[in-house]
A = this chain, B = another copy of it.
Amino acid sequence: MNSASIDVLISEVGPRDGLQSIKSIMPTEEKNAWIDALYKAGVREIEVGSFVPAKLLPQMADTAEVVRHAKTLPGLTVMALVPNLRGAQAAIEAGVHKLTIPVSASAAHSLANVRKTREEMIEEVQKIAQYRKEFAPEVKVEAGIATAFGCTIQGLVPEDEVIWMAEQAINAGADESGLSDTTGYANPAQIKRLFRRLKAAIGSKAGAAHLHNTRGLGLANCLAAYEEGVTSFDSSMGGLGGCPYAPGASGNVVTEDLVFMFEAMGIKTGINLDLLFEARKPLQAGVPSEIIYGMVPEAGAPKGFMPATQWGG
Which A positions have Cβ atoms within 8 angstroms of B?
A: 150-156, 183-185, 187-190, 213-217, 219-220, 222-224, 227, 243, 245-249, 254, 257, 260-261, 264-266, 291, 293-296, 298-299, 302-304
CB distance from A294 to the nearest CB of B (A): 8
Cα distance A296–B245 when bound, in Å?
A: 13
Which B residues are CB-close (under 8 A) to A216?
219, 254, 257, 294-296
Q: Smallest CB-CB separation from A254: which chain B residue?
A: B216
Interface of A is mostly: loop
- B183 with A302: CB separation less than 8 A: yes
Which B residues are CB-close (under 8 A) to A299?
184, 214-215, 243, 246, 249
How many copies are assembled?
Answer: 2
Which B residues are CB-close (under 8 A) to A247?
247-248, 291, 293, 298
Which B residues are CB-close (under 8 A) to A190?
264-265
- B223 with A302: CB separation less than 8 A: no
CB distance from A212 to the nearest CB of B (A): 10
What 6 A-B pairs have minimum CB-CB distances, sorted nearest first?
Answer: A248-B248, A155-B304, A216-B295, A187-B264, A246-B298, A189-B265
Q: Contacts A154-B303, A227-B227, A247-B248 given; 19 further ones with Cβ under 8 A?
A: A150-B303, A156-B304, A183-B302, A188-B223, A188-B265, A189-B265, A190-B264, A215-B257, A216-B294, A217-B219, A217-B257, A217-B260, A220-B222, A223-B223, A243-B299, A245-B298, A246-B299, A247-B247, A249-B298
Which B residues are CB-close (under 8 A) to A245?
298
Q: Smallest CB-CB separation from A265: which chain B residue?
A: B189
Which B residues are CB-close (under 8 A) to A248?
247-248, 293, 295, 298
